[in-house]
A = this chain, B = another copy of it.
Amino acid sequence: MEEARWLDELEDRAWRGYQAMADQVETALHRSLMRATGLSLSDYAVLVHLSEAPQDRLRAFELGTALRWEKSRLSHHLRRMEKRGLVERRSCETDGRGLHVVLTPVGRRAIEEAAPLHVADVRGFLIDHLSRDQLLALAEISEKVLAGLPSDEGLCSD
């Protein structure tokens, strides 16, 4: 850790801006969704994946992989969501260890009501402020950064 290469002016501007944006956009989305629907962003992500899956169900580890969540986080979260009636946990016939996570009618209604609001928020807080060029730049930036990230240890896929 001898000589650190600090950020120059442009790098610093990008980093500070990015940091503030990432933090505040997430906070704004979370609070808005939570107040309007009672769903957290985490709940929302789970419900979206289930609602797009065949027969409204996924194996827990598939869900964990898709969300990039640790398995224990997933387990805790699913237990809490089940208690609220949003999902159901069913044991899996083909694999005795396995678990099917199934969207309930309540869960489906929740996600269908929340989705338009959430998309409007995503537009209002982020997307609609950007030009087509900026959208493209943001997509390319994200893809490049993601490609360079360490391929995670400690997740469901480990």
Contact = CB atoms under 8 A, between A and B. Distances in A.
B24 A146 contact: yes
Given A25-B145, A134-B137, A149-B28, A115 B4 contact: yes
A145 B125 contact: yes
Contacts of A148: 124-125, 129
Interface stretch (A13-21, A50-58, A89-97): A13-21
A136 B139 CA distance: 15
A123 to B, nearest CB: 7
A127 interface: yes
Contact of A7 (B21, B119, B142, B152): B119
A149 B129 CA distance: 10
Contacts of A141: 17, 21, 130, 134, 137-138
A123 B14 CA distance: 11
Given A4-B119, A130-B145, 13 more contacts: A1-B113, A6-B119, A10-B132, A14-B130, A14-B135, A17-B138, A17-B139, A18-B138, A20-B146, A21-B145, A129-B145, A129-B148, A138-B141
